[in-house]
Every structure is written in C-alpha cells, then in structure tokens.
C-alpha cells in the first residue's frame, strides 16, 4: 500500500513529535486531540523544534515551511477517516485506546492501517477489538521523536506481511531504524529499560543511595547520558509505573513488582517534568533539586 497521509491521535509529547517527523518526511498529517488547547500548543512546539533544526542547519527553511503546511489539526476523531495510516499516541491506558479505535472504525477506509504507539500494551489484544486485526500493529517511537533513531515495529498474532512492509517503508522514509519485536509485554526497549529504572527506585527506597548519587553513579559508572531517576522524570513516573504493572501482570514474575516508592510518587501526582516534580523539583530557576 502506498501511504501518503497519516492520522495521529494525541497531541502530547509523543504525538507532536510523530507529527513533526512525518510532515518533514513529506506525509500529509492530520493531528487530533480532545483538547483544542493541546492541539494549538502542539503546533507551536513543532514550529519551535523545526526552527531549531533550521538554526543548526539540519534542515532548510523551505523544508521547515513545507512541513508546517502539511500539518492540519482537528478535535474530531472521525476527521482522520481518509488517512492511509493511523498512529494512535494517546495515554497509556488500554480502555482509552479501545474507545479510540471503536470510534474511528466506522470512518476508516477498508485499506487503512491501524497502529498504536503503545510502549507496553498487547498489540494482539488491541487488534482483536477492531475489524482489521491483520492490518494492525505496534509502531513504537522513542522519546523525543525528532531526535531518537529507533522505532519498534511489533506484529500482533494476526498482522499480515503487507501491513508490516508498509509500516517498515514509513520508518525508512522517516530515516529512522526499525527493530522488529514480538508481541510480549513491553517489547524490547522497555522490557530492559523499565526494570532498570524500577531497580534504581528500589535503591533509593532502601536507602542504598540518594537521588544524586544513584544518577551520578550510572552516568559516570555506566556512561549513561542521563541517570535512571532523571530519565524516569523525563519519561513520566505514571508511564513508568504503568509499564511495570504491564510487565508484572503479563509475565507473573515478582522481579517486575513496581517499587512502592514509585507508586507513592504517582499517587502524590509527582509525575516528573510534566508536573514540575518527581524525583527532582523543577519549579526553581536554577538546577533541579532532588526531592529525596
């Protein structure tokens, strides 16, 4: 299938990043969100990020302008109906994703491919509730999308080869690298990354180290660009907890038990950078201050 238009559900950090790279690659993009303010903010963020690429001479000004002209926004989910490919990038809650696909289905063309940017939820289970499980797969971008080179492509049990090939072609056109993952909880990246973050929280919870010493140890001792607690704040502690719960429930192994301290932070609404507090407090003007 020749994909020329892409519909993106969700205008948050992932959604606006996906819209950015797809429009820059020449696709006509329709971005939707239930929150009209989020759509307006997404367009501003995309423009700012494209301007940054121009200033760094990564793209030309005319490419930036053309990309912005390819993006349109709408609050009506059914307006994505004519799209060749749908990328769902809504919140990491399975019930929300099922509701989105249920509303979309009557408006779609028979040949439209459905994908989810989920970081951990079963692709097979999401696909089974649609009318096209063979044309459904996982399309998992890394954050921040314009910078990160990897895309995980996850086949559900029913995904057919033409659907995989079409999605692989999109990844190639975006000039990113595809990694094929099987449909098991959290796929590849988060299956490895989230338990490391969870173990870092346990290390903090048990008093083995402070926020600062844990992050410094991994940055300097393992050459990681960000410490695990800093990275958790960047990802969102609610997202980290959701993925750990998927791993724990899906694999029934106690090694994936979420740390109680991670749960406590999420209960407090301290979700990281997006709420200005997590393992660090970002509300001051200087460097973020550890909260524990």
Task: Consult the annotation and say whether 41 binds a ligand.
Answer: no
Does 286 sit behind a cis peptide bond, omega within 30 degrees of 0 on the bond before it? no
- C-alpha to C-alpha distances, 192 to 2, 141, 228, 244, 247, nearest whole angstrom: 34, 16, 12, 11, 11
Write the pLDDT tens digit of every residue in 57-103.
Answer: 999 999 999 999 999 999 999 999 999 999 999 988 899 999 999 99
* 203-208 long-range Cβ contacts below 8 angstroms, 24+ apart: 204/229, 204/261, 204/279, 204/292, 205/259, 205/260, 205/261
CA distance 28 to 79: 13
Whether 152 is catalytic: yes
Angle, CA 267 vertex, CA 262 and CA 268 arms, to 5°: 100
Task: Consult the annotation and say whether 49 binds a ligand.
Answer: no
Residue-level length of the chain: 292
User: Do 141 and 119 form a contact (C-beta atoms < 8 A)?
Assistant: no
* Domains and their CATH numbers in the chain: 5-182 (3.40.50.720), 190-290 (1.10.1040.10)
- Give the residue carrying structure tokens 């790279």: 21
User: Do 123 and 115 form a contact (C-beta atoms < 8 A)?
Assistant: no
Tokens of 45: 């963020």
CA distance 34 to 204: 37
Write the pLDDT tens digit of every residue in 243-291.
Answer: 999 999 999 999 999 999 999 999 999 999 999 999 999 999 899 999 9
Indicate which residue of 83, 117, 152, 198 is catalytic.
152
Write the pLDDT tens digit of every residue in 150-180.
Answer: 999 999 999 999 999 999 999 999 999 999 9
Tokens of 94: 């399975």
Q: How confident is the model at residue 123 (pLDDT cuts 50, 70, 90)?
A: very high
Whether 190 is catalytic: yes
- Please count the other Cβ atoms lying within 10 Å of the Cβ belonging to residue 168: 14
- C-alpha to C-alpha distances, 224 to 175, 196, 208, 241, 253, nearest whole angstrom: 24, 12, 20, 21, 27
pLDDT for res 42: 97
End-to-end alpha carbon distance in the chain: 52
pLDDT for res 1: 74
Write the pLDDT tens digit of every residue in 173-232.
Answer: 999 999 999 999 999 999 999 999 999 999 999 999 999 999 999 999 999 999 999 999
Residue 259 DSSP symbol: P
User: Do 37 and 79 form a contact (C-beta atoms < 8 A)?
Assistant: no
Indicate which residue of 16, 190, 198, 230 is catalytic.
190
Q: Is 221 helix (H, G, I), strand (E, B) or coil?
A: helix
> What is the reported pTM?
0.90
CA distance 159 to 183: 11
Task: Consult the annotation and say whether 10 binds a ligand.
Answer: yes
Task: Consult the annotation and say whether 14 binds a ligand.
Answer: yes
Indicate which residue of 119, 120, 122, 198 is catalytic.
119
pLDDT for res 120: 87
Task: Consult the annotation and say whether 236 binds a ligand.
Answer: no
């Amino acid at each position: 299938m020749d994909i020329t238009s892409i519909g993106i559900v969700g205008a948050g950090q992932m959604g606006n990043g996906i819209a950015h790279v797809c429009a820059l690659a020449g696709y006509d993009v329709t971005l939707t969100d239930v929150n009209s303010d989020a759509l307006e903010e997404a367009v501003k963020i995309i423009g700012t990020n494209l301007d940054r690429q121009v200033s760094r001479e990564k793209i030309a000004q005319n490419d930036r302008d053309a990309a912005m002209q390819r993006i349109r926004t709408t609050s009506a989910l059914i307006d994505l109906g004519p799209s060749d490919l749908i990328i769902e990038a809504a919140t990491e809650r399975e019930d929300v994703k099922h509701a989105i696909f249920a509303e979309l289905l009557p408006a779609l063309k028979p040949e439209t491919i459905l994908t989810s940017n989920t970081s951990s939820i079963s692709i097979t289970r999401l696909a089974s509730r649609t009318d096209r499980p063979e044309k459904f797969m996982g399309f998992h971008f890394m954050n921040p999308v314009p910078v990160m080179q990897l895309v995980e492509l996850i086949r559900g049990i029913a995904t057919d080869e033409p659907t995989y090939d079409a999605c692989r072609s999109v990844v190639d056109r975006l000039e990113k690298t595809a990694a094929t993952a099987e449909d098991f909880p959290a796929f590849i990246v988060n299956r490895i990354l989230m338990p490391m973050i969870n173990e870092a929280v346990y290390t903090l919870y048990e008093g083995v180290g402070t926020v600062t010493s844990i992050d410094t140890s991994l940055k300097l001792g393992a050459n990681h660009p960000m410490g695990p607690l800093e990275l958790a704040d960047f990802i969102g502690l609610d997202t980290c907890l959701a993925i750990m719960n998927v791993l724990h429930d899906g694999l029934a192994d106690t090694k994936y038990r979420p740390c109680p301290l991670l749960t406590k932070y999420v209960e407090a609404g301290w979700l990281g950078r997006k709420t200005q507090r997590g393992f660090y407090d970002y509300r001051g003007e200087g460097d973020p201050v550890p909260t524990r």
